[in-house]
């Protein structure tokens, strides 16, 4: 009879130990989940703050370009790149709209006056 009583007590003790372990694991898991949740909330708050800062900068930039419309236009020339078309400066001594040389007559090549071959 005592052996059965000791065996029963041992079984109950093992069950209690298993339940205690389960409770401890559940508590540890709950703490980890709470910690992750707190970090997630903090990260979301940082992202919201960054987004608000970007929106503020975008509004300030839009306000600046509405005051200074030249910022919206492309540059007239870029360093190291030839200007295109109308942006090209006129050579000195010529009036705007005047051609650099008169066009050569049809069938002849344009050559300086002293170098004509006959």
Would residue 48 count as lying in a domain?
yes
* Counted domains in the chain: 1
Q: Tokens for 86?
A: 């109308």
Which range has the worst mean pLDDT, 22-26, 62-66, 86-90?
Answer: 86-90
Range of the domain at 52: 1-63
56 in any annotated domain: yes
pTM of the model: 0.42
Q: Which helix (H) or strand (E) holds 108?
A: none
81 three-class SS: coil
- Looking at residue 33, its pLDDT comes to 97
Mean of the per-residue pLDDT values for the chain? 79
Residues counted in the chain: 118
pLDDT of residue 104: 59
């Amino acid at each position: 009879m005592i052996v059965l009583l000791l065996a029963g007590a041992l079984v109950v003790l093992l069950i209690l130990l298993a339940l205690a372990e389960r409770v401890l694991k559940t508590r540890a898991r709950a703490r980890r989940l709470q910690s992750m949740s707190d970090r997630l909330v903090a990260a979301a708050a940082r992202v919201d703050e960054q987004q608000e800062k970007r929106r503020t900068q975008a509004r300030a930039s839009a306000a600046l370009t509405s005051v200074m419309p030249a910022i919206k236009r492309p540059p007239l020339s870029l360093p190291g790149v030839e200007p295109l078309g109308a942006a090209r400066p006129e050579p000195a001594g010529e009036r705007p709209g005047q051609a650099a040389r008169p066009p050569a007559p049809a069938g002849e090549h344009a050559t300086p006056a002293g170098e004509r071959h006959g």
